[in-house]
Amino acid sequence: MREQGTAPALRSVRVPVADAPVVDVVLPVYNEERTLESGVRRLHGYLTDDFPFSWRITIVDNASTDDTWSIAERLARELPWVRASHLDRKGRGFALRSAWSASDADVVAYMDVDLSTELGALLPLVAPLVSGHSDVAIGSRLAPGSHVARHPKREVISRSYNLILRAVLATRVRDAQCGFKAVRSSVAQRILPAIEDNGWFFDTELLLLAERNGLRIHEVPVDWVDDTDSRVHVVSTAVGDLKGTARLAVRFAMGRGRVDLGPVARAPLANDFGRRFVSFSLIGAASTAVSLAIFLSTHGLIGPIGANVVAVTATFVANAWANARYTERRSRPRWALSFAFFAGSVVSTSAALALVDAVTTSLAAQVAVLVATWSSAAVARFVAIGGRR
C-alpha cells in the first residue's frame, strides 16, 4: 500500500486575480537544473500569450540533489503566477498527488519540464474538462494524427507496454504513460486516495481506475520529441510498470477498484439496448462461425457430440472476454455466469444431437440443430446480461 503524504506548503507570488485559477499546470522535476528555467519560461510565455483560461504553474521538486530547487525558488519570485514546492522524497506520482491534492484550480494538469509535447496541445487537452464534457484528458503518442520522434528502443517498449495493458486489463486507452495529462479537480479528489503507486505507474493506475469507474477519458494526439537527457531509467521503469499491471489485474479480478465518486459519477444510460444488441450479435456470429468450422473438421474423428464439446469449449474464453469488454463494458467477464451458460450450451446441444442421431445421421440436420441450440443459449445469455448490467 502507498504511504500517505501530506500536501507540501506551496510558495506563491503575485496572484493575478482573487479567485482560484481555472487550470493549474504542475511540473514535477528531479535534477532538472539544465532544462528547468528554459522550460518554465517557455511555458509561461505560451500561457501568457495564447491560453484563454486563467492559470498557474506549480513546480514540484522531488528531492533534487543539484540546483533545481534554487532555480525553482528564483522563478517563483520572478515570474507572476508561478509557485514552487519542495518534497523530500522522489516519485512523480507522489509529486502529482501532493500538488493536485492541494490545488484550488478547477482543472489540474501536468507535463514534463522538457516540454517534449508541443504546447499547442494544452488547450485541446484541458478544454473538454473545463466544459465538463470529460473527466480525464491524456496526450497520446499512439493516436492517429500524432507525430513522434523518439529512439526505437523507447518506441518498442512503449508500444509493447500498451499492448500488454490492452490484453490484460482490456483498456481502450492507447498511451498510458505519456507525460501530458489533466483531470477535473473534483474527480481527482475522489480518485487520488484509491491510487496506490507513487512512482511512474501512477499515470496508468489513474487511467485504469478512471476507466473502471465509468469516467470519460479524452485522448489528444500530440506532437512529441523525446528528450535525449531524460531522467527516466527505462528498464527499471518498465519493470515497475509490469509489476503494477499485475497488481491491478489481481485487484480487478477480485472485484476491487470501485471508487465512490459521489456527485462526479456519470449516470449510466437509461437504455443502450441497440449498442449492446449489435455488439453481442457480432460476437455471437463470429463465435458461431469458428465453432462450426471446428465441429465440421472434427465430427468425423470423434463423433458429433465430442466435436460439439470441443467446438463450444474452444470459443468459450474468447466469447466471454469479448462480451465483457464490448457488450457489457466491463474489465473482466462474470465468469460464474459465463460458465453457467457454457455448461448449459454444452448439455443442451449434446442432448439435441443425441436425439437427431437417433433419427438420422444427416450432417445438415446436425448443423441445423447446433445453430438452433447455440442461438437459444445466446438469447438466454443476452437476456441475463441485460437484466444484470
What are the residue numbers of the active site? 203
Please, are residues 93 and 198 in contact by the beta-carbon 8 Å criterion? yes
The set of cell numbers assigned to 307 is 466435436
Q: How far is CA 364 from the centre of its chain?
A: 46
Measure the CA–CA gap between 136 and 218, rounded to whole angstroms. Answer: 6
User: Beta strands of the chain (E only): which ranges?
Assistant: 23-29, 55-62, 82-87, 107-111, 136-140, 147-149, 180-184, 217-221, 223-225
Q: Any residues with CB less than 8 A from the CB of 289 and at least 6 apart, and which? A: none
The set of cell numbers assigned to 337 is 455466469
CB neighbour burial string for 252-279, b if at least 16 within 10 angstroms, e if fewer = beeeebebebeebeeeeeeeeeeebeeb
**Vertex 376: Cα angle to 371 and 378 (nearest 5):** 95
Of 100, 266, 254, 110, nearest in space to 192 by CA: 100
Strand partners, 20: none
Q: How far is CA 26 from CA 23, 204, 266, in A?
A: 10, 18, 26
Q: How far is CA 56 from the centre of its chain?
A: 27
